[in-house]
Amino acid sequence: MNTFVSTLAKKKEMSVRVFSFVIALVCVSVVFGCEKCTEEAVRQSTQHLRDATENSHYANRHEVVVYIPQDQTNQEGGTNVHSGVSMSRVEEIARESGFFFGGPTGPKDHYLFYRDMNDRDESHNLNDMHEITWWQEQMPKYRFKRDEWTIQEQEQQGGDNTEEGEEEDERDFIWTWPSDSLLKDQFHLVNPTSVPNGPQFSGDPINLNVLDCWMAGVNGSGVIGAIVDDGGQWDHPDLIENYAEEHSFDWNYNDHDPRPHTYDSHGTSATGLFGASRDTDCGVGVAFGAKFALQRMLGAFPTDSIEASALSYHCRDGIDIYSCSWGPSDDGKTRENPGRLARLAMEECVSEGRGGKGVVYVWAAGNGRENGDNINRDGYASSRLVIPVGATDSHGVAAYYSEPGSPLLVSAPSSSRYVGITTTDLTGYSGDSVADCTHRFGGTSAAAPMIAGVVSLMLQVNPELTWRDVKHILVHSSRPTDIQNGQWNINGARLVHSHNYGFGIPDATDAVQKALNWKNVPPEIILQSDTIRPNLEIPKAGKNPGTARSTWFAPESEFEIPIYLEHVSVNIRMDTPLGYGKLALQLCSPYGTCSILDTPGPGNGKTISWDYLSVRHWGEDVIDRTAQNEDNRQQNTNTHAPNEWRLNVMNVGKHSSDPVVLKEWKITFYGCRL
C-alpha cells in the first residue's frame, strides 16, 4: 500500500416507463426514438414481468411475515430473566397458526410463514399467538428500473485482481492500459483522447477521473459490491472473472443462480459499469478489480420480504456496497417508502455491516424529471441511509430525465438523447443489442453503479471508512458542473450544492486521496425540534401563487453545543383539497440556505404526511453562531434570526372551496460534533 500512496500522492488531480430492455426483441435495427417501438416495448416488458410473477413461487402461495423477538425479558422478583424464543418454537408457532415455516427473512427476528393460496381467505391464529408482536401479508410490488433508452441514433455494433501476495504485487505493480477495444467509448471513465487508439476530437467529455487511481494500482481490489437488480449474466466474458458466487442469490426463484430472463439485460449492464474486468471486450468497470455479487429480485414483482432479503444478504459477512438502480414509479404522482422489512433490513446493515462500519447503499435518484418528479417523493432514494445519484450528459449538463431534489448527493456522467453508455449486454440476441456489448445503456441506472465503483476505490485504500465517512468524502471531492445554469448555492458552511447536481460529479482521484488519510467522523447524533402545529391556512393563488410561512426557533439552551449537520429531515402533515401537486415547499436555515423540498406536479392526493430530506445544509449548524452571515442569505430578503428555521409553502391552486392547511411539521437533525 505504501507504493500506492506514494504513487497517488504525485498525481494531483425518461422518465422511467419500462421495466426492462426489450428493444432487441421488438425493433432491432431501427431508430431508438421510434414511438411505436417503445410503446410495444413497454407492453411486452410489462407482460413479461406479469408472467414471471405468476410463475414465481411466492405469488402462488399465501405468504405472511411475522415478527417474533428473540430477546425478551420478564420481571420476576425484580430480576430480568431471558426468555428468548427458540427456532423450534417458531416452527411450532407456524404450524399452530395454520402455516408452514419458510425460515428467517430480511431483518432479524422476522420469519416467513406460508400456506396454500386457496387457504388465503381462511381464518388463522396469528393474532392469538402472544409471541408474535407484528405480522403482515406479502404482496408483489411494482418496481421500475431506471434505465433510459430513447437515444436518437442508430445502434452501434460493436483484469487485474490480485488479492494474494499483496506486498509483492504492490512492489512490482506496473501500469498498462487495458486492452479493451471499447474503453475509448467509455467517456464516463477517462477522456477518450487519452486512450491509445482513441478518437481525436476537441472538447473534453466530463468523466469521473479514475485514470490516476488505476495507474496507482487502485482498482477496487478486496471490495465486494452487490448489484441488486434483475440478475446478471455472470458468465459473460467481461464479468466472470469478478463474480462472487458465494454472495449471490436469486430471490425470485429461490436458488443460487441469479441469471436473468433472456429479455432482462438491465442488471448485466449495471454490473459491467461497476466491475467488468479489464482486457476483455466491452470496456471496463470503474472498479475492475472489485468482486461483485448479484441479488436478483426484479425478475418479477418483488414483495417487501424479498426486497429486505436482497438488500441485506451477507451484509454482515462479505458485501461492502449495494448498488440499486430501481424504485417506485417516476410518474411524478407516486409517493412510496420502503416497506417495514426493507427499512429495518437497511437500518441493521448500516449499523452492523462491515464490522459495525456500515455497508454503503448507492441509489439511482430517478428518471422522472420530464414528469415533474422529485427525488423527495421516492422514499428509497431520499433515505438518509443511501447515496442518491443523479445523471448528467457527456458535457456535464443535467440529463433531461434526471430528477432534481434536496436529497441529491452527487451526479455521474450518463446518457443523453443522442449518446449512450457503453457496457456489457446479454450475449447473443438475448439482450439490448445483437452484440455482447451495448452502447445505449443509460439513465440514473447507469450513474449509480459508477458511483458504487468510486466507493470501492475509496474502500480499497481505507477499509476503515464508515458509511457516513464515504458520504463526507464524496461531498468534499465532487466538482460543480454547468456553473452558469446549474443553480448552485453556497451554504453556511461554504459548501456548494445544486438541486440538479447535488455537490457535483465526484473526482475519483481526489476521493481516493482524501480516503487514504481520512479521520473517521464522530458517531452520529440525532436531535429534533418540537412539533410545530400552526394550523396555517395557505391562501389560494390569484395572479401570483398564495404563500405562507411557519417558523421554529431553536432553543439555544438545547442546542448550545455546535453541531456539524449532515442530513435534515422534515416531517410535514397538510390538508391539500386540490392535491399536493399544487404545492411547493421550502425549508430555510438560519444561514439563509433554502432547500426546495417539493414542487408543483401531477400529484392529486388530498393529504400530505411525508418525510422530506435535504443534504443542502451539510456542514451548517442548527444555530448560526457567526457574527455576520449576510453573504449566505442569498435566497431571502428578510434577515433570519440566528436560530430561526422557516418552512415556506406556496400554493398554485386557484379553484377550491376548502383551504389548504399546514397542520404540523417537525425537523430532525442528523450530524455530529466535530
- Contact between 307 and 342 (Cβ < 8 Å): yes
Q: Is 445 a catalytic residue?
A: yes
Cβ-based neighbour number of residue 656 at 10 Å: 14
Q: State how far the alpha carbon of 256 is from the alpha carbons of 234, 252, 339, 430, 527, in Å.
A: 12, 11, 25, 21, 43
The residue assigned the cell 417508502 is 337
| 8 three-state secondary structure | helix
Closest CA relative to residue 363, chosen from 377, 381, 378, 345: 381
Beta-bridge mates of residue 448: none
Q: State how far the alpha carbon of 170 is from the alpha carbons of 164, 173, 217, 411, 516, in Å.
A: 11, 5, 8, 32, 16
The residue assigned the cell 472473472 is 241
Angle among Cα 256, 315, 669 to the nearest 5 degrees reads 140
Q: Is 614 a catalytic residue?
A: no
Q: Which of 229, 264, 436, 598 is catalytic?
A: 229
- How far is Cα 294 from Cα 257, in angstroms, rounded to an integer? 9
Residue 176 makes CB contacts below 8 A (sequence gap 6+) with: none
- Let me know how many helices (H) and strands (E) the chain has, helices first: 12, 30
Q: Which of 247, 266, 314, 472 is catalytic?
A: 266
Q: State how far the alpha carbon of 142 is from the alpha carbons of 210, 233, 304, 421, in Å.
A: 36, 23, 11, 26
- How far is Cα 67 from Cα 56, in angstroms, rounded to an integer? 24
Q: Is 229 a catalytic residue?
A: yes
Closest CA relative to residue 282, chosen from 149, 177, 422: 422
Cα maximum dimension of the chain: 82
Catalytic residues: 229, 266, 445
